Amino acid sequence: MIKQKQQTNGIEIDLTGPQGNAYFLLGTAKKFGKQLGMGDSYIKEMLDKMMSGDYENLVKVFDDEFGSVVTLYR
């Protein structure tokens, strides 16, 4: 879930900093997908879906896929 900065455990990504860059998020999604055992075709579909719209779409798809392990904040 996209949240304001607060105390959390686990992986955090600040969308206002360098980690909020679309290319960083795409690379991170690919890396996490492989680490979580997602198939190559699923990862490709996920990345295509992330790139199918604007930046907000990219963030939403990332959050939908990895929101249980990654906290995004602005």
Domain ranges of the chain: 2-73
Give pLDDT, residue 68.
92
CA-to-CA dists, residue 15 to 35, 38, 42, angstroms: 22, 24, 24
pTM of the model: 0.86
Q: How far apart are CA 10 and CA 8, in angstroms?
A: 7
Confidence tier at 49 by pLDDT (50, 70, 90): very high
Q: What are the structure tokens assigned to 13, written together?
A: 């990504």
Contacts of 51 (CB under 8 A, 6+ apart): 26, 58
Give pLDDT, residue 71.
95
What's the pLDDT tens digit per position in 27-43?
999 999 999 999 999 99
